[in-house]
Amino acid sequence: MARPFNFSAGPATMPEAVLRQAAAEMLDWHGCGMGVMEMSHRGREFGEILEQAQADLRALLAIPDHFKVLFSQGGALAHNAMVPLNLAGRHPQRAVDVVVTGAWSQKSAQEARRYADVQVAASGADGGYTAIPDPATWRLRANPAYVHLCSNETIHGVEFHQLPDLAALGCDAPLVIDFSSHVLSRPIDWGRVGLAFGGAQKNIGPAGLTLIIVREDLLGHALPICPSVFDYRVLAEQQSMVNTPPTWAIYVAGLVFQWVAAQREGELTGVAAMEARAIERARLLYEAIDGSQLYVNLVDPACRSRMNVPFFLRGDDGRPLKDPAHPRNAAFLRGAQQRGLLQLKGHKSVGGMRASLYNAMPIEGVQALVDYLREFERSA
Ligand code: PMP
C-alpha cells in the first residue's frame, strides 16, 4: 500500500528505499551478525560505516580538502552555542555579527550573546520575516570573529538563494551558515563559507546527528570554557569519535547519502538532481498558491524557500487566517489528513499552514497537495 505524503518540517519524511534497507539490515548488518545499534563504535564495522558516510557527504557536496566534515550531537541549537565557543575567540572582543531573517537566526543571535559581543547586522523582523534585507544595507563590522546567517529559515520559509560575498561587502570574516533545513537540496559555494552546521532530521535522516563542515584554519580558537566533546579541533583530531557518536543516525544518514548519489533527473545526478526536483516541487506549490483566491504566501518571491512553504487560508474578509483552530483551517487540515496529506499545520509562532518539501518528498506528493488545495478552494 502506498504511504501517505508527510509534509512535516522535521523530523521529516525519509526516502522509502532507505527505510526498507534499514529495516532489512536491522538484525544483521552485512552478515556480521549484529545490527548497527548493537555494534561497538570502535569496531571495524562501524568504522567502515562512519568513513563511508563522511566520504559520501564530501563527494555529494563537493567539499574541498581544506574543510573538515564533523559528526556531532546536540542538534543545531547546541551548535548555536558551540559556534561562538569555538570561533568567537578569533576576535579580541569576541565580535560576532548576525543577520536575522527568521526565528532560527534570531535564536542563534540570542544564544551567541551569552559568549560573544553580538551585533545584529540586519533584521527582517519589522516585515515579519518575509524578506531578506539587501546585503548592501547590512551593518557589518570590518573583521568580526564571524558572521552568522541561517541559509534557510524553516519556520518563516525564507531562503538565501545566493550566499553573500562578505569580502565584497567590506567584511573580512568567515561566514557561518545554519543549513539544517536545506542541506543537500542545492550545491554550496564553499568559497563563501567558513563553517556550515545543521541537524540531520530534515533532509538527511534521524534526529541525533548534527553536521559541522568547517574550514581547517578556523579550528583551534575554542574558548577555555568550551566543552571538549564540542571543541571542533578535538572532534576533527579524533575523527568525530571523542565519545560515542550517534551511531544509528550516522548509519541511516549514510544510506540517505547513497540514495541521493543514485538519484537522476535527466542528465543530473546527486545534489544537482535534488536541486532540479526542489525547484520543480516549489514551482508547483507556489504557482498553485499564487494562482488562487483562497491561499496566500507572504514571503518575497526573491527569497521564498524551496523546502518550507508557509501559507495561509484567507478568511471571508480576505485576511490570512492564522489561528489553527479557526473552522476553515480545521476543516482544511481534517480533509488533508483524510487524503493522506500529513502534518500540514503551520508552526505555532506563525500559524496557518506549512508544507515542507524535502528531498524525500516525491513530486506526486506535491501534486496531490496541489489537487487538494484546488478541491478545497472549490468547496470553501
Ligand atoms: N536551525 C534550523 C534552521 C532549524 O530548522 C532547526 C529545527 N527546526 C534548528 C536550528 C534547531 O534544531 P535542533 O532541534 O536540531 O536543535
ipTM of the shown complex: 0.99
- Looking at the structure, tell me whether residues 128 and 236 fall in a common domain: yes
Residue 9, domain member (yes or no): no
Mutate to test the pocket of ligand 1, among 71, 72, 73, 77 (most ligand atoms within 8 A of CB): 77
Exposure string of 219-229, with b = 16+ CB inside 10 Å and e = fewer, is bebbeeebeee
Residue 73, domain member (yes or no): yes
Which residues of the chain fall below pLDDT 50? none
Q: Is-contact 310 346, C-beta < 8 A?
A: yes
201 CA closest ligand 1 atom index: 15
Query: Which CATH number belongs to the domain containing residue 374 in this structure?
Result: 3.90.1150.10
Give the pLDDT of residue 295: 98
Beta bridge partners of 221: none
- Looking at the structure, tell me whether residues 207 and 84 fall in a common domain: yes
Query: To the nearest 5 percent, what fractions of the chain are helix, strand and coil?
Result: 40, 20, 45
- Looking at the structure, tell me whether residues 144 and 160 fall in a common domain: yes
Task: Tell me the CA–centroid distance for residue 148 and ligand 1, in Å.
Answer: 15
CA distance 96 to 140: 9
Given 214, 244, 260, the domain boundary residue is: 260
Give the pLDDT of residue 114: 98
77 CA closest ligand 1 atom index: 16
Q: Which residues are part of a known binding site?
A: 42, 104, 154, 178, 201, 243-244
In 3D space, the residue among 222, 226, 195 whose CA is nearest the CA of residue 211 turns out to be 195
Q: Which residues are part of a known binding site for L-glutamate?
A: 42
Q: Which of 56, 97, 178, 231 is flagged as catalytic?
A: 178
Q: Which residues contact ligand 1 via a Cβ below 6 A?
A: 10, 75-77, 104, 150, 154, 178, 180-181, 199
Give the pLDDT of residue 2: 87
* Tens-digit pLDDT profile for residues 336-351: 999 999 999 999 999 9
Give the pLDDT of residue 120: 98
- Looking at the structure, tell me whether residues 76 and 203 fall in a common domain: yes
pLDDT mean across residues, the chain? 97
> Phi and psi dihedrals of 173, rounded to 5?
-155, 150
- Looking at the structure, tell me whether residues 244 and 327 fall in a common domain: no
Query: Which CATH number belongs to the domain containing residue 218 in this structure?
Result: 3.40.640.10
Give the pLDDT of residue 239: 94
- Looking at the structure, tell me whether residues 344 and 240 fall in a common domain: no
- Looking at the structure, tell me whether residues 239 and 286 fall in a common domain: no
- Looking at the structure, tell me whether residues 64 and 107 fall in a common domain: yes
Q: Angle at which helices 363-379 and 327-338 pack, to 10 degrees? A: 140
Residue 301, domain member (yes or no): yes
Give the pLDDT of residue 320: 98
Residue 68, domain member (yes or no): yes
* Tens-digit pLDDT profile for residues 1-28: 789 999 999 999 999 999 999 999 999 9
Question: What SS3 class is residue 336?
Answer: helix
CA distance 200 to 210: 6
Number of domains in the chain: 2
Residue 4, domain member (yes or no): no
Active site (annotated) includes residue 56: no
Mutate to test the pocket of ligand 1, among 104, 150, 209, 358 (most ligand atoms within 8 A of CB): 104
- Looking at the structure, tell me whether residues 148 and 185 fall in a common domain: yes
Residue 204, domain member (yes or no): yes
Give the pLDDT of residue 125: 98
- Looking at the structure, tell me whether residues 290 and 374 fall in a common domain: yes
pTM attached to this predicted model:
0.98
Residue type, 197: F
Give the pLDDT of residue 66: 98
Given 215, 234, 260, the domain boundary residue is: 260
Q: Is-contact 207 252, C-beta < 8 A?
A: no
Question: What SS3 class is residue 289?
Answer: helix
Neighbours of 375 (CB within 10 A): 12
Per-residue CA distances from 127 to 1, 132, 133, 135 (Å): 44, 10, 10, 16
Strand ranges across the sheet with 175-178: 67-72, 210-215, 195-199, 175-178, 146-150, 95-100, 117-123
Q: Which of 202, 231, 248, 345 is flagged as catalytic?
A: 202
Active site (annotated) includes residue 178: yes
Give the pLDDT of residue 360: 98
152 CA closest ligand 1 atom index: 3
Give the pLDDT of residue 236: 98
> Phi and psi dihedrals of 330, rounded to 5?
-65, -40
Residue 11, domain member (yes or no): no
C-alpha dihedral over 320, 322, 326, 328, to 10 degrees?
Answer: 40
- Looking at the structure, tell me whether residues 30 and 158 fall in a common domain: yes
> Phi and psi dihedrals of 95, rounded to 5?
-70, 130
**Can you give the residue range of the structural domain that contains 249?**
16-260
- Looking at the structure, tell me whether residues 332 and 188 fall in a common domain: no
Give the pLDDT of residue 380: 83
Q: Which of 56, 97, 104, 345 is flagged as catalytic?
A: 104
Give the pLDDT of residue 292: 98
Residue 29, domain member (yes or no): yes
Given 260, 291, 313, the domain boundary residue is: 260
Mutate to test the pocket of ligand 1, among 101, 154, 209, 212 (most ligand atoms within 8 A of CB): 154
